[in-house]
Amino acid sequence: MLDSVQSMNAAYGNVLYVAEWLFTLVFTVEYILRLVCVGRPARYAVSFFGLIDLFSIVPTYISLLLPGAQYFLVLRLLRVLRIFRVLQLVHYLGEAGILLSALRASRAKIVVFLFAVLTLVVILGSLMYLVEGEENGYTSIPRSVYWAIATLTTVGYGDITPRTSLGQALASVIMIIGYGIIAIPTGIVTAELTRAEHRPISGQACPQCSEEGHDTDAVFCKHCGAQL
């Protein structure tokens, strides 16, 4: 992040460069040790956290192979990918397993909710397109749907605004609906979190696939079947 600030880069570029390689080497050693310690290194390498570990170290090494100004955009992308290191903190959060399990359990309900919202904004955007018309900035149904999404989520950029009384009345209804539905995903996840808290989860990782989230009395891994 500091490396992207021009003044900081000019003043402390060398220090940031050395720190970057220091962190890269530390994470590289950690990644190699994880592959050595786990029973199924190939499975861990393609897992979510395995890919995060890989994305955290690869950009620095690839940048050595792409010198020159013609690759500036690629280098910028690689520098931004280093932010994946932030996700490695999840390894050290004891409650991360409960949160992830609650998100997985509520996945189907949230998908249904998002589909319902998508249907709603398409209908409301189409109505606004008919009410306001192109002369008021609603030049197409997709643009009107964009306005409906910004209004329903209470963002309200203001780049498109209704001009007619009927359009303003419809916008008011959409705003009120937005306040009502914005809390639904929170309630779904909260309910699953409450259920998950009653199921104690062990912090032990599987020695074969390195997966976590097992029950405290589990004898075998629920992902690969290996003995814990």
pTM beyond 0.75, yes or no: no
12 CB-near residues (< 8 Å, 6+ apart): 2
pLDDT, residue 69, reads 42
pLDDT digit string, tens, across residues 145-167: 999 999 998 888 888 999 999 99
Residues comprising the chain, all counted: 228
Tokens of residue 88, six digits: 């490695």
pLDDT digit string, tens, across residues 10-47: 899 899 889 888 988 988 998 899 888 888 888 888 88
Mean pLDDT (the chain, rounded)? 82
pLDDT digit string, tens, across residues 86-140: 776 666 655 666 777 778 888 888 889 999 999 999 999 999 999 998 899 999 9
- Burial grade of 38 (CB within 10 A; 0-12, 13-18, 19 or more): buried
